[in-house]
Structure 1
Amino acid sequence: MASLTKKMTKQEILDLRQKLSSHIVKETKPDYTYYQIKTDSMTITAYTSGKVVFQGQDLSWMEETESENNTYPQAGSDEVGTGDYFGPVVVAACIVSKEAAQKLSSLKIQDSKQIKDDQIRRLAPEIKAVCPHSILIVQNAKYNDVHQNHNMVDIKCRLHNQAYVNLVHKGYTLPDFIIIDQFVQKNSYYRYLKNEKEVISNIHFETKAENKYLSVACASILARNAFLETWDAMEAKYDFHFEKGAGSSVDICAKSFIERFGQKELTKVAKLHFKNTAKALSL
């Protein structure tokens, strides 16, 4: 079994837990740790010292690679909503030319998780104005239907690929340098796509890419903005305040939603396979 140790801030450790929330098979809290979680492919132990140990059969995909963050043109993609019980899953892909990078340089663009939502809403139109992009929104009813036969990683692989395919169909030429914020091994990514009619190849996979590459950061903002717009529409439709994330407050929120609108309606606003569903029904 391979082992890899990284030094991370507390916020990065908490963000990692949130990002992997839908993949957790078992979670414990040994002494001096924030958590120890097991997924299908690895065990992650996050210590309060900031040391994070990854253990699995193949961790080569997590190794840091030489950064090419100033290479333009570049295309990047990122996803939002995979750790939220309520709301859609959104994937965006974005092409950034050298000229676009210069125009965006004053905006201090970074990973959407580090930017407040009101700033996301201001930045998204400026990115759209100068960068070719593709945004895919999977509403909850569709997500729940697809998830019966495809797990979350499978769904994300297909969405990232389709976002790039859509850019090609729009008439854009993809750059030689394409980046995905690493969430799965490269070989596994392409294995999930083996039955797809069109597959974009030669993609560079790198962890924490949203903090290293402008194209991924822009895609992250576009995805987050689309998520927020969909969230707004969802709250307006039901005249109901939904809680973000997947914590205990979400359980209570789900219970309240069920009481007002019925359990059947939950499939239109939530990812039913999350543990929150069972918790809400047991409250």
Structure 2
Amino acid sequence: MNTVSLTLNQKQIDTLFETYRSKAVKTPAYAQYQLKLDGCTITAYDSKKVVFQGRDAEEMAALFEPKTLSQPPLQHAAELNGYPQAGSDEVGTGDYFGPVCVCAAYVDASHASLMQSLGIQDSKQLSDEQILKIAPKLMAEIPYSLLILDNYKYNQVHQTQNLNCIKAKLHNQAYLHLRNKLGQLPALSVIDQFTPEASYYRYLKNEREIVRGITFETKAENKYPAVACGSIIARFAFLKAMDTLSEHYSFKLPKGAGPATEEPIQQFYELHGEQGLMNAAKLHFKNTDKIKR
């Protein structure tokens, strides 16, 4: 028996019931209703999860995919435009201190009100205080995959791989993990583009498993809520990692890599030496060459 589970918002659930009211049967426990159609049983649970079971389960569930919205069977199907979607972004690549964090996130129409209430937007447009407040609420509600590459490992890997190669492998792994959580990725899965598509897949040519069918767009965090969510969660992880490193070394590590960081970097080196830099900084940055040894 084919089974497909989706999470819908309440208006979609109500519209679905009104469309097939005549097919309603006895309601199971913890459900709003159950519909028995020819070839498919649809159960809408109190949690807003809707389960399609039977020979035509995939066909019925596919009505909620963006690719079929041009012929919506439900009155409010247009509300699903652009959902579900997944998106990934990275944080920390421009900072001398701290790890590289990549997050792939998934959102669908049921998350729209949450994202609106939290004011979801690109993490670069939010203050650190806003990120620390928003991210935990987001992480409690949406599926995501977060990868954190610490500095020691980063410095080792960067000896043989450039930054774009490292990012490509992290994004691919984040999407693999997210796919495992979801069962399958939505048709619309986006990466905030940092390298051309051909180069991205070239970096992955020796990987055991590769996620394909990705959409690559620049400034995607301003176009796709899923990318914005990934950006926020990645930034949150970066901020937490910086706090942990600062506490470990009893030294307030600066963000960024500009001129304002030169003096703190020198002070950090004098206190913690080469090993400290290996564990807390990205050694290939030009900032390392400016240290007075």
Normalising by structure 2, we get a TM-score of 0.71
Alignment partner of 1:170: what SS?
helix
Q: Which amino acid aligns with 1:241?
A: K
1:247-262 equivalences under 5 Å are: 247-262=258-273
Q: How many Å apart are 1:171 and its aligned residue?
A: 4.5
Structure 1 residue identity aligned to 2:206 = N
CA distance in 2, matches of 1:259, 1:170: 45
Of the three residues 158, 173, 182, the one matched with 1:162 is 173
Give the aligned partner of residue 218 of structure 1. Answer: 229
Unaligned residue ranges in structure 2 (runs of 5+): 1-79
Partner of 2:23: none
Q: What is the CA–CA distance in structure 1 between the aligned matches of 2:105 and 2:116, rounded to whole Å?
A: 16
Across the aligned residues of Structure 1 and Structure 2, the Cα RMSD in angstroms comes to 1.3
Distance in 2 of aligned mates of 1:183 and 1:171: 25
Runs of at least 5 residues in structure 1 that lack an aligned partner in the other structure = 1-68
CA–CA distance in 1 between the matches of 2:195 and 2:270? 38
Give 1:193's aligned residue. 204
Larger RCO (CA within 8 A; separation ≥ 6):
1
TM-score (norm 1): 0.73
Counterpart position of 1:271 = 282
Amino acid at match of 1:271: K
> Is the Cα–Cα contact under 8 Å of residues 143 and 181 in structure 2 kept in the other structure?
no
Runs of 4+ in 1 over 6 A off after TM superposition: none
Q: Give distance in 1, aligned partners of 2:250 and 2:276.
A: 14
TM-superposition CA deviations, 1:32-83 (whole Å, max 9, x none): xxxxxxxxxxxxxxxxxxxxxxxxxxxxxxxxxxxxx950000000000000
Comparing 115-124 with 101-110, greater Cα deviation is found at 101-110
User: Which of 95-104 and 70-79 deviates more?
Assistant: 95-104
How far, CA to CA, are the matches of 1:239 and 1:209 in structure 2? 37
Corresponding residue number in structure 2 for 1:120: 131
For 1:6, the equivalent position in structure 2 comes to: none
Q: Secondary structure at the match of 1:83?
A: coil
SS at match of 2:146: strand
What's 1:55 paired with?
none
Matched residues, number: 214
Shift of 1:168: 2.1
Report the 3-state secondary structure (helix = DSSP H, G, I; strand = E; otherwise coil) of the residue aligned with 2:292: helix
Q: Report the Cα distance in structure 1 between the residues aligned to 2:106 and 2:272, rounded to whole angstroms.
A: 41
Could you give the per-residue CA deviations for residues 107-159 of structure 1, whole angstroms, max 9, x where no partner exists? 21100011001110111112112210000000000000000010000000000
